[in-house]
A and B are shown apart, each in its own frame.
Chain A
Amino acid sequence: MNAASTALSVRGLVKEYVRGKKVLDGITIDFAASGLSAVIGPSGTGKSTLLRCVNRLVEPTAGQIHFGGRDIAPLKGRALREARREIGMVFQEYNLVERLSVMENLLSGRLGYTPAFKAWLRRFPQEDIDRAFALLDQVGLGSFANQRADALSGGQRQRVGIARAVMQRPKLLLADEPTSSLDPKTSVEIMGIMRDLGREHGIPVIVNMHDVELAKRFADRIVGMSGGRIVYDGPPDGLTDDVLKTIYGGESWLAG
């Protein structure tokens, strides 16, 4: 994979929350500049930590994260914020600012580019507002702009969460268990929206999930993690029962 088509390149990433206990044990992986990759694996295996290390919501203990032509692992302050605004993130529990309207939540995706004074007065460029309306239409919430976020259902909130991340015009979209709090039908819709928006805006998407079927259905590439290491990396077709056994261990759960 050459540098131009690589969006994110992680090298020897290690994270220890407690000294000596490696949650991530030297992860090395590249993500291409397009397509949806699903990271699967049992709970507590470091999927979430991996994603959060990428946008530095969690501080990596060691290793490099190459993104946008530089290693962002040691960045601080302004440089870190500038890296973050190019990485969109979708959260498991949506993490919308509950007491703000849908529109304000979308516009918060532009905060990395907006001076505090203008943000306070809600003076966002018309261009941003147009984009927000267009994105709301795309996620099917065209008429919800002035609703308060806490008045929405889970599926609607996650749509807003995705639209907020895309508002950033990110060069990479991370999604941390975006469907774990949703029912199966809504989960499929949400995954569809992420795949489609990713394609349309040319954003590579990395999704953490534990639903193997959903991952197979939507992902172009599957990364299997177990015990803080990558144990599978390949196309969805390659996820045989044997592979799943290495990822999740045991086999009784596979029966039926």
Chain B
Amino acid sequence: MIYALGRLDFSWDRFVTGLDNGARFIGRMLPPRIAQPDSLAKGLIESLEIAILASSMGILLSLPIGLFAARNLMPVWATWPARAIIAAARSFHPVIVAIIFVKAVGFGALAGICALVVASIGFIGKLFAEAIEEISLKQVEAVRATGASFMNVILFGVLPQVFGRFIGFATYQLDSNLRNSTMVGIVGAGGIGGTLFSAFQRFDYDFVAAILLSIIAMIMAGEVLATWVRGVFLEKGKVDGE
């Protein structure tokens, strides 16, 4: 650890100078000032749009992928590719994925949406598959014994057992996409991140403070929304509480 400290060029001097800087920095952040209300509003709305579209598409896509990746229900020829997709989607940070998409589909919201769709597939796909792998197969067997088709076995034997957890993952992912949608702009993939980054580079620290506060407000509002959705769907299922 000391070796690591040495390698990273930490020194007391630097730290003290930093604290000094920090005080000045905070001084310049106060009071927050909305320098460009237009670009702030536009950025926030775009971030929100990115989060909503990416979450809905990502969740929709991760349902079948997660199902195919569950080793207790699916044959190897289905689980192997599904697990490979999930692993690939998980391996890079959304911002890095965004870089690739900026190159592929150009600057703007589309790149951000694509990047967060990938992130959603990686996260929900993995957790959903794990949730399915933990279900009671006895209940599945009973539904199968009624002569139900494969889809009906999934609908009545599998989904009820994982529905509560799935709602949890989905709302969590919406939350997480909202946070990340404010960041992908740093690499040009749309949303408020671009505004934030350029304000930093111009040393407009009071505007930076205003942007950060509005991001936090938006994320908190998103959390309230997520809690509401969870409440609606898990109302009777206190047993579902993980």
Q: Do chains A and B touch in the complex (CB under 8 A)?
A: yes
Is A97 in contact with B146, judged by CB distance below 8 angstroms? Answer: no
Binds A, one of B78-86, B116-124, B160-168, B202-210: B160-168
Q: For chain A residues 43-61, which have a beta carbon within 8 Å of chain B?
A: 55, 57
| Complex interface: chain B residues within 8 A of A88 (CB) | 146
- Tell me whether A85 and B139 are in contact in the complex, defined as CB-CB below 8 angstroms, given that A116-B152, A116-B155, A120-B155 are known contacts: no
Given A95-B139, A97-B142, A99-B239: A112 in contact with B148 (beta carbons within 8 A): yes
Interface: B144 (CB within 8 A): yes
A136 at the interface (CB under 8 A from B): no
Specify which chain B residues have a CB less than 8 angstroms from the CB of A116 in the assembled complex. Answer: 149, 151-152, 155
Do most interface residues of chain B lie in helix, strand or loop, or is the interface mixed?
helix
Q: Are B156 and A104 in contact (CB under 8 A)?
A: yes
Residues on B with C-beta less than 8 A from A82 are 147
Give the docked Cα–Cα distance between A1 and B5 (Å): 89
Q: At the interface, yes or no: A93 with Cβ under 8 Å from chain B?
A: yes
> Which of B123-151 touch A at CB < 8 Å?
136, 138-139, 141-149, 151
Contact with B along A108-149 (1 / 0, CB 8 A): 111110101001100000000000000000000000000010
Q: Can you name the residue of chain A whose Cβ is closest to the Cβ of B157? A: A97
Interface centre among B141, B145, B160, B163 (most CB of A within 10 A): B145
* B161 to A, closest residue via Cβ: A99
B241 lies within 8 A of chain A by Cβ = no
Residues of B within 8 A of A189 (CB): none
A95 to B145, CA, bound (A): 11
Most buried by A among B143, B151, B163: B143
B164 contact set on A, CB distance < 8 A: 99
Nearest residue (CB) in B for A109 is B146
- B149: chain A residues at CB < 8 Å are 81, 111-112, 116
Within 8 Å CB of A110, what residues of B?
146
Q: For residue A119, which residues in chain B have a CB less than 8 angstroms away from its CB? A: 151-152, 155-156
Q: How many whole Å from A234's CB to the nearest CB in chain B? A: 29
Interface residues of B (CB under 8 A from A): 136, 138-139, 141-149, 151-153, 155-157, 160-161, 163-164, 236-237, 239-240
A-B contact pairs, 23 of them (CB 8 A): A57-B145, A81-B149, A83-B147, A85-B146, A89-B142, A89-B146, A91-B141, A96-B139, A96-B142, A98-B161, A99-B239, A100-B156, A104-B156, A108-B142, A109-B146, A111-B146, A111-B149, A111-B152, A112-B152, A116-B149, A119-B155, A150-B239, A168-B146
Residues of chain A touching chain B, judged by Cβ–Cβ distance below 8 Å, are: 55, 57, 81-89, 91, 93, 95-100, 104, 108-112, 114, 116, 119-120, 148, 150, 161, 164, 168
